[in-house]
Amino acid sequence: AQSVTQLGSHVSVSEGALVLLRCNYSSSVPPYLFWYVQYPNQGLQLLLKYTTGATLVKGINGFEAEFKKSETSFHLTKPSAHMSDAAEYFCAVKARAGRRALTFGSGTRLQVQP
Amino acid sequence: EAGVTQFPSHSVIEKGQTVTLRCDPISGHDNLYWYRRVMGKEIKFLLHFVKESKQDESGMPNNRFLAERTGGTYSTLKVQPAELEDSGVYFCASSRGGSEGTEAFFGQGTRLTVV
């Protein structure tokens, strides 16, 4: 069975500071990896995904994530936080074969201080 | 292209009543998923349709939940009778079939409150 762990249910950074949201997964075979974001009163929006190839993946709004197989991690980063980045972020995995549903982490709420 | 649409956006019902949630996927998407987030916990899978067939319903909590996808288009999720623990946000997602099916597009969710 797959599982996803997001360290830190709440993260607070200052505007302009580095954003680092942590995600570790457990899976017998490296899965597809995703980061979704939910802005207030909106649905889930895909930020970025890793399927194959280059392990550093760039997404929307300046975010990127690096797949590290040896560490079973897929941490999300952004060099400089903006007030508009305040939202809840979800890491998710999907098996490469078989079950097609996503398994989500518990989410990290990002607060950006002026 | 229209996104995934869910309605109602909010529903407040009394314990024991029935509620039906609806999801309209993106046109042409064979895969349709229902997920639920309860009390700020993780988003959990409920079930997966491929066209009109239930591919995986391993996440359905009990027989008070009934999902349908008639004609392989929109889907409904009925809760009957609703219990307090059914409160949460219900998300619907859809994706294309085949090798393109790795990305799922989500609706805004239906917030269900059972009182």
Res B2: pLDDT: 79
Alpha-carbon torsion angle A49, A55, A59, A65, nearest 10: 90
- Going by pLDDT thresholds of 50, 70 and 90, the confidence category of residue B99 is low
Show residues of chain A in contact with B108, CB under 8 Å.
Answer: 41-43
Residue A113: predicted pLDDT: 96
Nearest Cα to Cα of residue A33 among A11, A18, A55: A55
Q: Pick the residue from chain A with its C-alpha nearest to B47.
A: A101
Choose from B31, B106, B108, B111 for mutation: most chain A CBs within 10 A. Answer: B106
CA nearest neighbour of B34 among B99, B100, B112:
B112
Q: Are B65 and B77 in contact (CB under 8 A)?
A: yes
Residue contact B103–A107, C-beta within 8 A: no
Task: Please give the pLDDT value at position B112.
Answer: 97
| pLDDT score at A21 | 98
- Answer whether A68 touches B (CB < 8 Å): no
Which pLDDT tens digit goes with each residue over B9-49? 999 999 999 999 999 999 999 999 999 999 878 999 999 99
Is the per-residue pLDDT at B101 higher than 60? no
Interface contacts A/B by beta carbons within 8 Å: 56
> With contact defined as beta carbons under 8 Å apart, do B83 and B62 qualify?
no
Quick one: average pLDDT of B84-102? 85
- From the list A34, A49, A106, the residue facing B42 with the nearest CB is A106
Are A92 and A101 in contact by the 8 Å Cβ rule? The answer is no
pLDDT over 90 at B108, yes or no: yes
